[in-house]
A and B are shown apart, each in its own frame.
Chain A
């Protein structure tokens, strides 16, 4: 399932074993945008696959979207606590200390998932 990127929303690609979020996130209405994404994520996590890999590469998100990301991680944590092996890769660019700090802050609330800070080389936007 693919949620195409919009001017203010990131690309989201969900499969039974993976989730990719890439781009910028400052939607007009965060709950309107995130509801179908979280619903699909729930479906993806509900299958029998034992492993799930999450890649997040954001360049900018606003304060309303921070709450969505927090809920998103909480959701993954619950699933990991229930036995799914989840790996989260928070991808950030070397010069982007804002996204690096954000990734470190989310990491503090994650314990059941395996969480990696991944430095991305160059401009992949």
Chain B
């Protein structure tokens, strides 16, 4: 049963978002249509202030890949329409931006995903660029469950990324965080 949300909880939500300097956050069913709709305001937020255009574009690029990952691979769907559920956020970080994404992962794909990301995290920019080209020419390897170009693209755009798998009542949550500056 849903927890009763009091006025102080609403204020707490406001303070929480402000304190962590979150510019944008969406949590719920995510579709391509919705992504089209939210692309403009997200862009607008990023082009605000003195953010360099190249940085804003990198943040936007990571945001799009993360959002499409949720849409394609979230293992938790709405009952009525089968839309993918997840959370995505962009926040101000010390010297740039933090882009975060969370979704329930398919338990059968978890190990492959983890191995792919561990592998990517050990590669430098030059190796990532080569791998991207290779994947583009050859298509995804047979043992990959869709973890193809998108994660390589993100790894190329971020200064660093972290990922985690956290157990929840909905199943294992896949947590991806990328820093752009």
* Residues of chain A in range 33-68 having any CB-CB distance to chain B below 8 Å: 59-60, 62-64, 66-67
Which residues of the other chain, A, contact B10 by a CB distance below 8 angstroms?
none
The residue from A59, A63, A109 contacting B153, defined by CB atoms under 8 A apart: A63
Tell me if B109 counts as interface (CB < 8 A to partner A): no
Which residues of the other chain, B, contact A8 by a CB distance below 8 angstroms?
36, 39
Which residues of the other chain, B, contact A108 by a CB distance below 8 angstroms?
133
Q: Give Cα A8 to B37, complex, Å.
A: 10
Tell me if B58 counts as interface (CB < 8 A to partner A): yes
Per the CB 8 Å criterion, the residue count for chain B at the interface is: 26
Minimum distance in angstroms from A47 CB to a CB of chain B: 30
Minimum distance in angstroms from B148 CB to a CB of chain A: 7
Which residues of the other chain, B, contact A64 by a CB distance below 8 angstroms?
68, 149-150
The residue from A26, A67, A97, A109 contacting B54, defined by CB atoms under 8 A apart: A97
By DSSP majority rule, is chain B's interface helix, strand, loop, or mixed? helix
Q: Give Cα A26 to B64, complex, Å.
A: 8
Tell me if B73 counts as interface (CB < 8 A to partner A): no
The residue from A28, A66, A98 contacting B33, defined by CB atoms under 8 A apart: A28
* Residues of chain B in range 135-155 having any CB-CB distance to chain A below 8 Å: 136-137, 148-150, 152-153
Which residues of the other chain, B, contact A70 by a CB distance below 8 angstroms?
136-137
Q: Give Cα A97 to B58, complex, Å.
A: 11
Which residues of the other chain, A, contact B39 by a CB distance below 8 angstroms?
7-8
Tell me if A29 counts as interface (CB < 8 A to partner B): yes
Which residues of the other chain, B, contact A7 by a CB distance below 8 angstroms?
36, 39-40
The contact string, 1 if C-beta is below 8 Å from chain A, for chain B 23-62, is: 0000000001101100110000000000001100110110
Q: Give Cα A64 to B140, complex, Å.
A: 12
Q: Give Cα A70 to B149, complex, Å.
A: 13
**Interface residues, chain B, CB within 8 Å of chain A?**
32-33, 35-36, 39-40, 53-54, 57-58, 60-61, 64-65, 68, 129, 132-133, 136-137, 148-150, 152-153, 157
Question: What would 13 A/B residue contacts be, using CB atoms closer than 8 Å?
Answer: A7-B40, A8-B39, A26-B64, A28-B32, A60-B57, A62-B68, A62-B150, A63-B152, A64-B150, A66-B153, A95-B53, A98-B61, A101-B129
